[in-house]
Amino acid sequence: MTLKKNTNCGLLTKVNVGEKVVVAGWVQGRRDHGGLIFLDLRDRTGIVQVVFDQEKNKSFFNQVEKIRPEYVVAVGGKVVPRSPETVNLKLKTGEIEISADALEILNPSLTPPFYIENNIDTDENLRLRYRYLDLRRPEMLELLHFRHRILLEARKYLDGEGFWEIETPMLTRSTPEGARDYLVPSRISPGSFFALPQSPQLFKQLLMVAGVEKYFQIARCFRDEDLRADRQPEFTQIDMEMSFSSREDIMSVVEGLVKHLFQQVQGKDLKIPFEVLPYREAMERFGSDRPDTRFAMELVDISEIAAASQFRVFKTAVQDGGIVKGINAKNCGRYSRKEIDDLTALVQSWGAQGLGWMIVTGEGFKTPIAKFFSPSQLDTIREKFDAREGDLLLFIAGKREKALDVLGQLRVHLARREGLIPQNEDKFLWIVDFPLLAYDAEEKRYDSVHHPFTAPLEEELPLLAVDPLKVRSQAYDLVYNGVEVAGGSIRIHRKEVQEQIFKLLGLPDEEIEEKFGFLMRAFEYGAPPHGGLAFGLDRLIMLMAGRKSIRDVIAFPKTAAGNCLLTGAPGPVSAGQLAELHISPVLRNNKKDV
């Protein structure tokens, strides 16, 4: 290489006029006028136009004619101003161009399978198979850079707050709860397996016992579950843990971190502290433990009226211990019967029995169920919903949890459909006071709502032995525009409490000892009170960047089937490798064996 790049293409402006530069990058396009050839040269900073003139560039002009898109070239030349009529305001560098006097073709390129430009509409299949070309597109490089800046600023902020970045093992042991583990066979211990971490949870707690006091890690985590648009089998967390801290201390550090990231990376000024909503209230008002509060449409309880009405569906729901709640779909009174039937089918697919509805008109309610309510009951309903002419009231009756959940989904569905969600708002809020445990009817045992290491509210600790489902936890979730982006808790640091939880979860003593003995022992040697939180980093970045898929913010993501189209992973291995690992695959012919 004789020409050495010394300038970034996209950063050249009028102030560089007169400079002798060498630019290098990829050829975006070529406009061949015969004796005059324009090249658009692109590097990660942007595009600059290079001009070759047959008269001036006689010695290598035939080389220029060979250049095609995506060739890698280096060009030496002088930055010159463009004449006023040839200025291109679409380019940041459009007021200048490079008048070439030297060229080196560093590498030719095949015609790429898709255009190297933003907003392409190509099969994602192709993009993933040629990921290096996909990433070469400016918007994708920008996302990689965006992610880098988030990580950099997170590190700066946490360092500033006294956190130490510490790595924990990738090869660890399988634990009984949680997601399916990715397993790694041990060559040296036949028949034994490592598991890739689902999160560094126990290690960071042990670091607290060790006296680290403030820890963080940009941690890769693995969960062998089915994928979604916002879920990959390997993903990254910003994982944190602090000793001697209350829930409020941790929430406040996290708020500082989020504010810092938005400030530094996007120049946005977030208001902190964030709103705090108890779980119960979130469920009752929004029907979700991760409510999108960028819009209202809150749930309204009419159980009392329903019980007193003559409408049997509502009446019996309440008599059976359930509820009747509804939402006001503002200005949706125009919906046709067909559209309302479709909504009914939708809520039924979510598990509701049916959907009650009332359209508010100038003359009163238009609804098949008006006759079951007295005029004063209808007035109360109108008042409770602040119902105006043209509104559509929708009701769900049933068991409390189910009714709330369905209404919560319906609320979001309608808001999207009606375009009620402000797109430029960044709404963060905390959900706290989650229940500690849920009852798993199938398994006939309790399950952790967060995870088994989450501490109960101190004052409700005594309830644990009496009425475990009543106990609330010191967990907290951070919700961003209706998406859970972080979650954490104050942890249990006393052995007796941890044992009590394990037993409620139905873990036998031997298993507690085998799987968690090391944690229990650690708690016997002066474990400080501690707690922490982890961000789903990919999801956070996706939302901040306004992307619909988590794959866009991961350099080399997997497909919905968990494959890497670029490398072909996962792939077969040799019999020799398997033998060495003491593994013998049992392949089932999915159809025949059943």
Q: Which residues bind RNA (CB under 7 A)?
A: 29, 31-36, 38, 40, 49, 51, 53-55, 68-69, 82-83, 85-88, 90-91, 94, 97, 111, 113-115, 120-126, 128, 175, 177-180, 198-199, 201, 223, 225-231, 447-452, 549, 551, 559-561, 563, 565, 591
Least distance (Å) between residue 125 CB and RNA: 4
3-state secondary structure of 396: strand
Report the residue number, 259 or 491, with the smaller CB distance to RNA.
Answer: 491
Q: Which of 157, 140, 139 is nearest to 265 (CA)?
A: 157
Cα-to-chain-centroid distance, residue 394: 31
- Are 41 and 47 contacting, i.e. CB atoms less than 8 angstroms apart? yes
- Least separation, in Å, of the C-beta of 11 and RNA? 17
Rounded to the nearest whole angstrom, what is the least distance from the CB of residue 413 to RNA in the complex? 11
The CB-of-585 to RNA minimum distance in angstroms stands at 16
CB of 591 to RNA, least distance (A): 7
User: What one-character-per-residue DSSP string does 287-339 give?
Assistant: SSSS--TTS----EE-HHHHHHSS-HHHHHHHHTT-EEEEEEETT-TT--HHH
By C-beta, is 116 or 297 nearer to RNA?
A: 116
The CB-of-486 to RNA minimum distance in angstroms stands at 13
Minimum CB distance to RNA smaller for 203 or for 274 = 203
Looking at 115-192, which runs of residues are DSSP E strands? 164-165, 183-185
Q: Closer to RNA at the Cβ: 312 or 548?
A: 548
Q: Is 124 exposed, middle or buried (0-12, 13-18, 19+ CB in 10 A)?
A: middle
Q: What DSSP state is assigned to residue 423? A: T
Residue of 2, 40, 6 lying closest to 23 (CA atoms): 6
Token representation of residue 240: 């944190």
Q: Least distance in Å: CB of 137 to RNA?
A: 13
Whichever of 311 and 434 has its CB closer to RNA, that residue is 434
Of 98 and 324, nearer to RNA (C-beta) is 98
Q: What residues contact residue 590 under an 8 Å CB cut-off, 6+ apart?
A: none
**For RNA, which is the closer residue by CB, 129 or 495?**
129
- Nearest residue to 103 via CA among 55, 68, 52: 52
Least distance between RNA and beta carbon 40 (Å): 6
List, as one string, the DSSP characters of 533-549.
EEEEHHHHHHHHTT-S-
Q: Give the residue with the Cβ less far from RNA, 110 or 188.
A: 110
Work out the number of other CB atoms within 10 angstroms of the CB of residue 255.
18
Q: Which two tokens stand for residue 315?
A: 């009446």
Nearer to RNA, 29 or 529 (CB): 29
- Nearest to 97, CA basis, from 111, 112, 78: 78
286 contacts: CB under 8 Å, gap ≥ 6: 292, 293, 298, 299, 408, 411
Q: Do 450 and 327 meet the contact criterion of CB atoms below 8 Å apart?
A: no
The least distance separating RNA from the CB of residue 163, rounded to whole angstroms, comes to 20
Of 327 and 554, nearer to RNA (C-beta) is: 554
Q: Measured from the CB of residue 352, what is the shortest distance to RNA in angstroms? A: 14
Cα distance between residue 584 and residue 323, in whole Å: 55
